[in-house]
Chain A
Amino acid sequence: MAIVKRILLDVLKPHQPGALEFAQTLADLDPGYRVNLRVEEVDENTETIIVVIEGENIRFEEIDQAIKKMGGTVHSVDEVEAEGSPPASTE
């Protein structure tokens, strides 16, 4: 199965945890993850953020769970960069 290398998510989350803690929590999911977070819009109770995660093998389910645990919801997956995994050895 192809390996996901980069993913861009549109997320709606409460004000707490803040952007810094939110990004750190996602980055802590895997030592190879690089997280870029941008706050797009701030409302009374919520904020819309754009999260870009890069890594050698991104596991979306794990990221989605972590976001839900922090009270957020993934609105949409707007960009994905995937790479075909090398064929299994036939020896």
Chain B
Amino acid sequence: MSLIQQIQSLWKLSQAGQIARRYFVTNGFDGALTMLGILLGFYTGGEVPLIVVISACLGAAIALGISGFTSALLSETEERKKELKELEDSLVAPLEESDYGKASQITPWVIAAVNGLSPFLISLFIIIPLWLEDWGYMLPFEMDPFDTAIGFAFLAILFLGIFLGRISGTFWLWSGLRAVLIGLVTAGIIFLIGGNA
């Protein structure tokens, strides 16, 4: 059996794909909404140097990434240990050397990587317009970097909604728009509270 086949087999055995997909959406949504929240918070707060916004967003992105990675690693490791122990009890045999044993060791790391990278990369994507402005690149059509970043946040939310729709088999546009609606409600609440602060 080739290495790729072995990885595929372990991946299938541990049902990691399904869990990783769920974590990708959940934490990706966390990342996108957090960035949207920070951007709108600065937006309602008035003029702030761009570098301050970038630093705040980057700090949050790193924190979300590390939080996602460590929380998933800890919880998944314990969960897998429990599952393996239950299976060992049912089979009345040790499974450390089996594919199950290997899968229960590798899977938490893969899921943790997805859980950590998902909010981190989505956050980085959202702040691209701010970076471009900071590095001296002109955005096309003289777009405002702040508005564009907020637009990118809604784009990421739309993408995650569509992705969810594809998984569940529902109409992709509906699930995408539903996710955007959640973003709009969040924005509304921020404007309501932030505007009166």
Most B CB within 10 A of own CB, among A44, A46, A71 = A71
Interface size bucket, A side? 10 to 19
Q: Which of A16, A44, A68 contacts B90 (CB 8 A)?
A: A44
CB distance from B91 to the nearest CB of A (A): 6
Set of chain B residues within 8 Å of A32, measured between Cβ atoms: none
Residue A85, interface by CB 8 Å: no
Is there an interface contact between B93 and A73, defined as CB atoms closer than 8 Å?
yes
Interface residues of B in 154-196 (CB under 8 A from A): none
Residue B2, interface by CB 8 Å: no
Interface string of A66-82 (1 = CB under 8 A from B): 00111111000000000
Is there an interface contact between A69 and B91, defined as CB atoms closer than 8 Å?
no
13 additional contacts, CB 8 Å, given A69-B99, A71-B99?
A12-B91, A13-B91, A14-B87, A14-B91, A16-B13, A17-B9, A17-B13, A45-B87, A45-B90, A68-B98, A69-B98, A71-B100, A73-B93
| 25 CB < 8 A contacts A-B | A12-B91, A14-B87, A14-B90, A14-B100, A16-B12, A17-B9, A17-B12, A17-B13, A43-B90, A44-B90, A45-B86, A45-B90, A46-B87, A46-B91, A68-B98, A69-B98, A69-B99, A70-B98, A70-B99, A71-B87, A71-B91, A71-B95, A71-B100, A73-B91, A73-B93
